[in-house]
């Protein structure tokens, strides 16, 4: 953390789990479709088209504001934000200005120095512009293509106070925000363009630079790191950091100057004459009853209900789907066993494959995982065997019992191992004599006998222990 580095974020979040756009009834599920197929006169901004507020979008926005502990304003107004850019066919964006939906609020993050509240300035609703695709890079492209499927998607702009002091804090904030939004079931972060970030960064005393439209979390961290280094270099050389807007070039990991920062008055905000103000009281009451359990509450409940440690509970709530998966498994087997295998092993195997628990639900269902852990508990399979089955299931699918049989993963019963240990001793008198005369290496030979007989399925350390005990009693 560097106190001289000051970072504030403006996060644009698509409420992309809704059915329709912010001011028209065009469907939101456009990601697989051809460009410009989810459009109508309203979201194309044709003259005379009249917007109608999507009440579900307002409710979703209120849900987010409540979960972020923000103060929802008693009434809220849409404004026209005027600017000229091809992604905005009307020449203005319907947004909110001096009567935003909510003020204040915070998100708690866990830093190395402990918990920290990232305070929010405001949360407002707006419509997403269309999507421009540049032929080449933004600064050199000869032309760009435009897709209006995205035009009019309900958007929330969440603005933080300038209270972050490192790129890492910014990343922690965004991660936590994403988790909260997914818990609320208003947001799917896996969809392209679901969350886009403008980052304001300055170094105490210098001009504030805004980096526009960063589309990934990693991008935010890298853009900020680059920008902080750039500003520090300027200051070191005795030069001034200009107030400006820059673009993050994700390919080259640098920021490039776009234009000097526009001032608020450049946008000539005025109230949208085609929309009425929204009085929020009733909607807030309606939404309050639908707020789900949030990560912090869930963490405490998981600990209390399943007796698992905070280390596991903390990780489980990072992803609601993972927490759900765990709870299903924990209802069928020892919850502590379930927690450690879900968090430590299955999560790792999924990560390794760049997959998440949605994939686990497809390939290794909770009841199958529970069955596997039961086998482990009954010592029918070794830990190594469990891992092998997990990997096979994730990579190829199949039936658990078939996999265990085919791969010979059923553990050998303890009395069978004991019998083989005795056999090893009886059939190898020379090794036994060597061991007795102090040649400790002879033990390895006897263990090797059992390993060979079991085709490697015995645990070598335990087997050695067993043989040693038998030899001592001879």
Taking CB under 5 A as the criterion, the residue among 6, 24, 323, 412 binding Zn ion is: 24
Give yes or no for residue 127 binding Mn ion (CB under 5 A): no
- Site for Zn ion contains 26 (CB under 5 A): yes
* Binding range to Mn ion, per CB under 5 A, among 143-151, 156-164, 343-351, 439-447: 156-164
Which part of the chain contacts Mn ion (CB under 5 A), choosing from 153-161, 254-262, 274-282, 409-417? 153-161
What does 157 interact with, of Mn ion, Zn ion, none (CB < 5 to 8 A by kind)? Mn ion
Burial 365-399 (b: 16+ CB within 10 A, else e): ebebbbbbbebbeeeebbeebbbbbbbbbbeeeee
Among the listed ranges 22-30, 132-140, 279-287, 311-319, the one in contact with Zn ion (CB under 5 A) is 22-30
Q: How many CA atoms lie within 13 A of 40 on its CB side?
A: 16
Out of 79, 127, 147, 157, the residue judged to bind Mn ion by CB under 5 A = 157
Cβ 55 to Mn ion shortest distance, Å: 21
Q: How far is the CB of 20 from Zn ion (least distance, A)?
A: 8
| Bridge-based pairing state of the strands 131-134 and 75-76 | unpaired
Contact with Zn ion (CB under 5 A) among 43, 107, 197, 343: 43
Residue 381 contacts Zn ion per CB under 5 A: no
d(CA 357, CA 335): 18
| Neighbour tally for 355: CB within 10 Å | 14
Q: Does 53 interact with Zn ion (rule: CB under 5 A)?
A: no
Could you tell me how many residues of this chain bind Zn ion (CB under 5 A)? Answer: 5
DSSP per-residue codes, 202-269? EETTSPPEEEEEE-SHHHHHHHHHHHHHHHHHHHHTT-----EEEEEETTTTEEEEEEEPPPGGGG--
- The Cα 30–Cα 19 span in angstroms is 11
Determine the interface stretch with Zn ion among 24-32, 120-128, 203-211, 348-356 (rule: CB under 5 A): 24-32
Q: Is 145 helix (H, G, I), strand (E, B) or coil?
A: strand
Given Mn ion, Zn ion, none, residue 26, with its beta carbon under 5 to 8 Å by kind, binds Zn ion
CB of residue 198 to Mn ion, shortest distance in Å: 8
Contact status: 40 vs Zn ion (CB under 5 A): yes
Q: What span, in angstroms and rounded, lies between the C-alpha atoms of 350 and 372?
A: 17
Nearer to Zn ion, 43 or 330 (CB): 43
Tell me the C-alpha to C-alpha distance, in Å, between residue 212 and each of 139, 244, 469: 13, 10, 70
Tell me the C-alpha distance between 17 and 284, whole Å: 20
Q: Is 364 in the site for Zn ion (CB under 5 A)?
A: no
The number of residues that bind Mn ion (CB under 5 A) is 1
**How many whole angstroms separate alpha carbon 363 and alpha carbon 35?**
33
- Least distance to Mn ion from the beta carbon of 95, Å? 6
Candidate ranges 100-108, 155-163, 336-344, 435-443; the one touching Mn ion (CB under 5 A): 155-163
Q: If we measure between CA atoms, which residue out of 393, 315, 404 comes closest to residue 359?
A: 393
Token representation of residue 176: 């936590």
Nearest to 244 by CA among 236, 232, 256: 256
Paired tokens of 369: 């995982």
The nearer residue to Mn ion, 128 or 327, going by C-beta atoms, is 128
Q: Which does 24 bind (CB under 5 to 8 A by kind): Zn ion, Mn ion, none?
A: Zn ion
- Could you tell me the smallest distance in angstroms from the CB atom of residue 329 to Mn ion? 42
Q: Find the part of the chain contacting Mn ion (CB under 5 A) among 152-160, 229-237, 377-385, 463-471.
A: 152-160
d(CA 93, CA 22): 12
Point out which residues bind Mn ion (CB under 5 A): 157
What are the residues binding Zn ion (CB under 5 A)? Answer: 24, 26, 40, 42-43
């Amino acid at each position: 953390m560097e106190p001289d580095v000051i970072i504030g974020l403006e996060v644009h979040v698509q409420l992309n789990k809704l059915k329709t756009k912010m001011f028209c009834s065009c469907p939101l599920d456009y990601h697989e479709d051809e460009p410009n197929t989810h459009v109508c006169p309203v979201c194309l901004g044709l003259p005379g088209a009249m917007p109608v507020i999507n009440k579900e979008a307002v409710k979703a926005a209120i849900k987010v504001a409540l979960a972020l502990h923000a103060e929802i304003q008693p009434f809220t107004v849409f404004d026209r934000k005027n600017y000229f850019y091809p992604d905005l066919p009307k020449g203005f964006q319907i947004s909110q200005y001096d009567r935003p939906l909510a003020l204040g609020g915070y998100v708690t993050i866990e830093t190395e120095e402990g918990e920290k509240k990232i305070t929010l300035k405001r949360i407002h609703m707006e419509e997403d512009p269309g999507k421009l695709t540049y032929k080449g890079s933004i600064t050199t492209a000869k032309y760009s293509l435009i897709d209006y499927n995205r035009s009019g998607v309900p958007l929330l702009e969440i603005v933080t106070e300038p209270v972050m002091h490192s790129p890492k804090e910014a990343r922690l904030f965004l991660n936590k925000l994403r988790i909260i939004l997914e818990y609320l079931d208003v947001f799917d972060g896996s969809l392209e363009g679901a969350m886009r970030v403008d980052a304001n960064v300055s170094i105490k005393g210098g001009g504030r630079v805004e980096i526009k439209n960063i589309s990934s979390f990693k991008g935010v961290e890298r853009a900020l790191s680059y920008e902080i280094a750039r500003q520090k270099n300027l200051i070191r050389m005795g030069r001034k950091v200009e107030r400006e807007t820059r673009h993050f070039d994700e390919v080259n990991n640098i920021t490039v100057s776009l234009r000097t920062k526009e001032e608020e008055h450049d946008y000539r905000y005025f109230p949208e004459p085609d929309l009425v103000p929204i009085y929020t009281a009733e909607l807030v009451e309606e939404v309050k009853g639908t707020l789900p359990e949030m990560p912090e509450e869930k963490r405490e409940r998981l600990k209390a209900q399943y007796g698992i440690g905070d280390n596991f509970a903390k990780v489980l709530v990072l992803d609601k789907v993972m927490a759900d998966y765990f709870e299903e498994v924990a209802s069928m087997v020892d919850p502590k066993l379930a927690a450690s295998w879900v968090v430590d092993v299955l999560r790792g195997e999924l990560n390794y494959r760049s997959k998440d628990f949605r994939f686990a639900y497809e390939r290794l269902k909770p009841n199958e995982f529970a069955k596997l852990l039961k086998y482990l508990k009954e010592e029918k399979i070794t830990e190594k065997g469990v891992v092998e089955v997990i990997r096979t299931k994730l990579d190829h699918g199949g039936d658990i019992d078939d996999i265990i049989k085919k791969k010979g993963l059923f553990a050998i019963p303890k009395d069978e191992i004991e019998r083989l240990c005795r056999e090893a001793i009886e059939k190898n008198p020379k090794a036994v004599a060597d061991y007795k005369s102090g040649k400790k290496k002879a033990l390895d030979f006897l263990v090797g006998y059992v390993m060979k007989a079991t085709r490697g399925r015995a645990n070598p350390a335990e087997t050695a222990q067993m043989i040693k005990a038998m030899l001592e009693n001879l």
